[in-house]
Amino acid sequence: MPPTTPTVIILVGPTAVGKTAAAVRLAKLLRTKIISADSRQCYRELNIGVAKPSPAELDAVHHYFINSHSIEAEVNAATFEELALGWTEEIFRSSPVAVMVGGTGLYIRAFTDGLDSIPPVDQTIRSQIRHDYEEHGLGWLQEQIKKYDPAFYASGELQNPQRVMRALEVRMSTGQSILSFRTREPRRRPFDIQTIGLQLPKEELHQRIHDRVDAMMAAGLLEEAKALLPYRHHNALQTVGYKELFDHLDGKISLAEAVAAIKTNTRQYAKRQLTWFRRDLSVRWTAPTDRLESLI
For 236-255, what is the mean pLDDT?
94
User: Please, which pLDDT band fits residue 118 given cuts at 50, 70 and 90?
Assistant: confident
Beta-bridge partners for 7: 97, 192
Q: State the average pLDDT for the chain.
A: 93
Residues 95 and 77 in one domain: yes
Residues 109 and 142 in one domain: no
Give me the pLDDT at residue 84, please. 98
Residues 54 and 165 in one domain: no
Give me the pLDDT at residue 70, please. 95
Q: Are 126 and 74 in contact (CB under 8 A)?
A: no
Answer whether residue 240 shows pLDDT above 80. Answer: yes
Residue among 89, 239, 103, 86 at smallest CA distance from 162: 239
- What is the number of domains present in the chain? 3
- Is the residue at 2 inside a domain? no
- Is the residue at 1 inside a domain? no
Give me the pLDDT at residue 186, please. 82
Answer whether residue 41 shows pLDDT above 80. Answer: yes
Residues 74 and 176 in one domain: no
Three-state secondary structure call for residue 95: coil
For 129-137, what is the mean pLDDT?
90
- Is the residue at 144 inside a domain? yes
Residues 94 and 65 in one domain: yes
DSSP string, 155-200: HT--S-HHHHHHHHHHHHHHSS-GGGGTTSPPPPPSSEEEEEEE--
155-159, 209-213, 214-218, 251-255, range with the lowest pLDDT? 155-159
Of all residues in the chain, what percent carry a pLDDT higher than 90?
76
Expressed as residue numbers, the domain containing 158 is: 123-181
Answer whether residue 87 shows pLDDT above 60. Answer: yes
- CATH, residue 193: 3.40.50.300
62-66, 137-141, 234-238, 246-250, range with the lowest pLDDT? 234-238
Residues 239 and 172 in one domain: no
User: Please, which pLDDT band fits residue 184 given cuts at 50, 70 and 90?
Assistant: low
Residues 215 and 94 in one domain: no
CA distances from 203 to 17, 200, 209, 216, 271 (A): 12, 8, 10, 20, 12
- Is the residue at 91 inside a domain? yes
Rounded to two decimals, the pTM is 0.85
- CATH, residue 132: 1.10.20.140
- Is the residue at 35 inside a domain? yes
- Kindly give the residue spans of alpha helices, DSSP state H, lying in 71-228: 77-92, 105-113, 123-148, 150-155, 161-174, 202-219, 221-227
Residues 170 and 97 in one domain: no
More confident residue, 137 or 89: 89
- Is the residue at 81 inside a domain? yes
For 256-283, what is the mean pLDDT?
95
User: Please, which pLDDT band fits residue 289 given cuts at 50, 70 and 90?
Assistant: confident
Q: Are 133 and 165 in contact (CB under 8 A)?
A: yes
- Is the residue at 80 inside a domain? yes
Beta-bridge partners for 43: 69
Give me the pLDDT at residue 293, please. 82
Residues 80 and 196 in one domain: yes
- CATH, residue 238: 1.10.287.890
Give me the pLDDT at residue 183, please. 57
Residues 172 and 104 in one domain: no
CA 199 to the chain's CA centroid: 17
Answer whether residue 11 shows pLDDT above 90. Answer: yes
Residues 12 and 93 in one domain: yes
User: Please, which pLDDT band fits residue 243 given cuts at 50, 70 and 90?
Assistant: very high
Q: How far apart are CA 72 and CA 187, in angstroms?
A: 30
Residues 222 and 128 in one domain: no
For 189-197, what is the mean pLDDT?
97
- Is the residue at 67 inside a domain? yes
